Amino acid sequence: MSQSVAVDPGWYEQAACQNQGWQKFFDEPDPTAAQRLCAGCPVRIPCLRFAMSQGIDNGIWGGLTPEQRRRTRASTTWAA
């Protein structure tokens, strides 16, 4: 499976996940390891804003699962 996601390198270059491999964030049945890495990431909020503003519905972004983002999106307006 290949993931192609456009990101703003202004924040992605500082992301804790940058060299972790996408599998941890997209293919793992248990998101705990990815969420733990996100919890300490210095750009967690810009990452989450990006995913929310783009309507990304797969993978862990900003420490949230797709379901968590769907629930948040229902009650919040996000800007990139």
Say which amino acid occupies 68.
Q
| 17 vs 77: CA distance, rounded Å | 25
CA-to-CA dists, residue 52 to 1, 19, 55, 70, angstroms: 22, 22, 5, 9
Answering whether pTM is above 0.85, one says no
Token reading at 36: 């733990």
- From residue 24, alpha-carbon distances to 19, 46, 49, 54 in Å are 11, 19, 20, 21
pLDDT along the chain (80 residues), means of 10: 52 90 88 95 93 91 94 71
Single-letter amino acid code for the residue at 79: A
